[in-house]
Amino acid sequence: MTAGMTRVQETLRRSFCAVAVLSTLGATALGAAPTAAAQDVRSKQWYLDAMHAEEIWKKATGEGIKVAVIDSGVNAATPSLKGQVLKGKDLTDRSGDETSDYDGHGTNMAELIAGTGKGGGIQGLAPGAKIIPFRIQVGLPKGAINRGSIPNAIKAAGDSDAQIISMSIGSEYFGAQEEEAIKYARSQGKLLLAAAGNNAKEGNGKSYPAAYPEVVGVAATGPDGKVADYSQHGEVIDLAAPANEIPLWCDATFKSYCDSNGGTSSATAIASASAALIWSANPDWTANQVLRVMIESAGRGEDWPEGPSNYLGHGIVRPGAHINRGIGKPGAPDIDPLTNEKTGGGNASDTSGSSDKGGSDSSTSESSEPASSQPGQDGSDDDTAVAGSDKTGNDGGSTGLLIAGAAAVAALGGAGFFILRRRRTA
List % helix, strand, coil for the chain (3-state, nearest 5): 25, 15, 60
- Interatomic CA distance for residues 264 and 420, integer angstroms: 23
Give the sign of the dihedral formed by CA 369, CA 236, CA 132, CA 112.
Answer: negative
| Cβ proximity of 169 and 22 under 8 Å | yes
Residue 411 gets which letter from DSSP? E
Q: State the Cα–Cα distance between residues 336 and 383, nearest whole angstrom.
A: 27
> What are 216's strand-pairing partners?
193
Residue 135: φ, ψ to 5°: -85, 130
Give which of 337, 312, 353, 311 is closest to 421, Cα–Cα.
Answer: 337
Alpha carbons within 13 A on the beta-carbon side of 225: 24
Query: What distances in angstroms separate CA 369 from CA 59, 296, 303, 361, one per listed residue?
Result: 37, 19, 12, 22
Which residues are within 8 A (CB) of 255 and not within 5 positions of it... i.e. 6 or more apart?
none
Backbone angles phi, psi at 124, to 5 degrees: -70, 155
Tally of residues, the chain: 426
Which residue intervals of 236-328 are DSSP H helices? 263-281, 287-297, 319-323
Catalytic residues: 71, 105, 265
The CA distance from 114 to 121, in Å, is 11
Contact indicator for 98, 137 with CB cutoff of 8 Å: no
**Under 8 Å between Cβ of 265 and 228:** no
Determine if residue 51 is left, alpha or beta; phi over 0 gives left, psi from -120 to 50 gives alpha, anything else beta: alpha
- The conformation of residue 208, written as its DSSP 8-state character, comes to B
Q: At what angle do helices 105-114 and 263-281 cross, to 10 degrees?
A: 30
Amino acid at 85: V
Determine contact, residues 284/329, Cβ cutoff 8 Å: no
The set of residues, in sequence order, having a beta carbon less than 8 Å from that of 37 and lying 6+ positions away, is none
